[in-house]
Amino acid sequence: MSIPLILAVVFVVFLGALTRTTFGFGEAVVSMPLLTLLPVNLHTSVSLMGLVGLTVASLTVTTGWRHINRRALIPLVFAALVGIPIGLAMVTVVPTKIITALLGIALIAYGIYSLTRHFLSSTETKDRLHHPLWGLLFGFASGVFGSAYNFNGVPVAVYGSLRGWYPNKFRSTMQAYFFISGTLIVAGQGIDGIWNINMFTLYLFSMPAMIAAIIVGTILHQKIPIAKFQRYVFLLIATLGVVLFVKSII
């Protein structure tokens, strides 16, 4: 690997870790599309971001453990455990172009949803999503998408948004979920044989960037008006989704 490529990957990891630390989720949503645009093997990108996500979660979950919604966390984790093997099968069997297209469509859908969720959410919806079966459904989707290409944050973020979790509960529960599911996903990826020397090399080079992102992101979380800043992030996510989808069909 060339030095410019390594630096580009480190910068992408920094952006993803910064997004995760600031908002509580989104590092793979930001980083995976950008990594796909670089000359990096898809399996290397998937395994790298899985390890990065687990590292960031392990370093940040301890700061907000008091706000974790444990009743919602348990069904999410158990359902994710069922979905993880299915996602691993997808990433090893389904062609890269199809995965890229699915990722693009998912990004577009999530970006549009996030930008319009204030119009879509209602008290009736939030009450309905309190049923444990909804947690199982979103947890299963998170396990599938997470083990396939580290997209586990989107289903849980949508679930938390529809449940109406206040910011501290949202951020803390997300980090706890990422730590548990991330451990399972990274272990599954290792057992499935998609780790390689390039992934470990990029991970080691990215460590200083992750630490810097955690420090800066924690400060931003406390200082920046999150709701306004999120709109720009969601717009970027939808744009990257369009780019990925177009790339997959060309």
Say how many residues make up the chain: 250
**Cβ burial, residue 134 (10 Å; 0-12/13-18/19+):** middle
CA torsion through residues 67, 73, 77, 80, sign: negative
DSSP 24: S
Please choose, from the candidates 134, 235, 147, the residue with its C-alpha nearest in 3D space to the C-alpha of residue 190. 147
One digit per residue, pLDDT tens: the chain, 250 residues?
799 999 999 999 999 999 888 877 778 778 888 888 899 988 888 889 889 988 888 887 776 677 788 888 889 999 988 998 888 787 778 777 787 788 788 888 888 887 886 665 544 444 456 777 888 999 998 888 777 766 777 788 778 877 877 777 777 888 888 888 888 878 887 887 888 899 999 999 999 999 999 999 888 877 877 667 767 777 877 888 888 788 788 7
CB 54 within 8 A of CB 186: yes
φ/ψ bin of 154: left (φ > 0), alpha (ψ from -120 to 50), beta (otherwise): alpha
pTM of the entire predicted model: 0.76
